[in-house]
Amino acid sequence: MGSGRRSATTAAAPTAPPADPPLGGTYEFARAPRTLGAMVASTTGYRSRGATPQLHRGLPSPHLTLIFSLDGPVVAGESPEHARSADAYRTEIVLGGLHQRPAYVVQPSHEEGVQLAVHPLAARALFGMPAAELTQLAGDGGDVLGVRAVEIREQLGEQAGWAERFATLTAYLRRQAEDAGRRAEVRPEIAEAWRWMAWHGGAGSLDGMARHVALSRRQLTTLFQREVGAGPKQVSRLMRFERAQRAVTEAVTAGRAPDLSRIAARCGYFDHSHLVRDFRQYTGLSPTGWICEEHRNIQAGGHRNGEEWDA
């Protein structure tokens, strides 16, 4: 699944819903303290009641997506038609790898759960497998993670407060990492290459990255494909796009028209047209088209992950 579900940059306490909610109904978002270091970039609790049902685009991201849905299954598809069909993916635990196209999520009038943005290099520690294997799994996240995750979801559903839920998730993930031990280790060249990409905001060259870790382009690409399911060039593009998408949503949230040329220059694109091409690949729309479609969702508190991609 994509990582573009509605989220908000709050502390452990939820934000108050807007006086006149843009989507109708009431919204509540809570951001957990970052207690797991680089393994989990963000943990967000969400709850909506009486919202206007809509189809939402979950955007590609340099993070893995883990969702524990507590109010019915997440219903999604690879296209709007797929998401609305009888063959749509339906699961109460979502575990998604890196992808290059948007996922389409049916958002009902009532939903509640917790979403985590997980570092791909933490997949071995937290999920018992490299992130590359997740790109080949389209089934229930509970099937992948096992009985322990299903029990955690049930426990979360019995807990009323976000702080208690966040503590439960933190304990679960720490235990996963402790059980994995040395089996969770990734090659140091991959970890260092990721740090190099993050330092350059996804705008560094593949040649420069390869030189930095003393590997050939082919060797580095092969190692990345085996570990995360995407090459370093693809991951860099995801980092750069997420940075640009964040800048666009910040402008919209502030009530300003995004200056796409300035955003393109700041985020390492060649020009405005280059940014538009990436937007079309990752959202299926132009920046302007995406803003029009997601404007209400952004104003309700969405698209504010605001995390970096440190290793």
Distance, CA of 206 to CA of 27 (rounded, Å): 42
Please tell me the predicted confidence (pLDDT) of residue 143.
86
Distance, CA of 264 to CA of 90 (rounded, Å): 37
pLDDT category, 181, cuts 50, 70, 90? Answer: confident
Q: Are 80 and 156 in contact (CB under 8 A)?
A: no
pLDDT category, 301, cuts 50, 70, 90? Answer: low
38 occurs within a structural domain: yes
Distance, CA of 168 to CA of 164 (rounded, Å): 6
Q: What is the mean pLDDT of the chain?
A: 87
Domain extent for 175: 26-183
Q: 255 pLDDT exceeds 50?
A: yes
Distance, CA of 5 to CA of 304 (rounded, Å): 10
Poorest-confidence range of 96-100, 120-124, 275-279, 306-310?
A: 306-310
Please tell me the predicted confidence (pLDDT) of residue 137.
52
Query: Residue 29: phi, psi to the nearest 5?
Result: -130, 140
Q: 2 pLDDT exceeds 60?
A: no
Both tokens of 193, joined, read 């290459």
Please tell me the predicted confidence (pLDDT) of residue 11.
37
How far is residue 178 from each of residues 71, 127, 152, 166, 175, measured CA to CA in Å?
Answer: 30, 12, 17, 18, 5
pLDDT category, 6, cuts 50, 70, 90? Answer: very low
Whether this prediction's pTM lies above 0.85 is answered by yes
> How far apart, in Å, do the first and last CA atoms of the chain sit?
22
Q: 299 pLDDT exceeds 90?
A: no
49 occurs within a structural domain: yes
122 occurs within a structural domain: yes
Tell me the CATH number at 120: 2.60.120.10
If one counts the domains in the chain, the total is 1
Residue-wise burial string across 232-264, b where 16 or more C-beta atoms lie within 10 A, e elsewhere: bbbbbbbbbbbbbbbbbbbbbeeeeebebeebb
Please tell me the predicted confidence (pLDDT) of residue 303.
54
pLDDT category, 98, cuts 50, 70, 90? Answer: very high
Both tokens of 266, joined, read 């700041």
pLDDT category, 22, cuts 50, 70, 90? Answer: very low
- pLDDT tens, position by position, 143-157: 889 999 999 999 999
What is the enclosing helix (H) or strand (E) of 283?
Answer: helix 272-283
Closest of 99, 102, 93 to residue 120, by C-alpha = 99
Place of tokens 């405005």: 272
284 occurs within a structural domain: no
pLDDT category, 3, cuts 50, 70, 90? Answer: very low
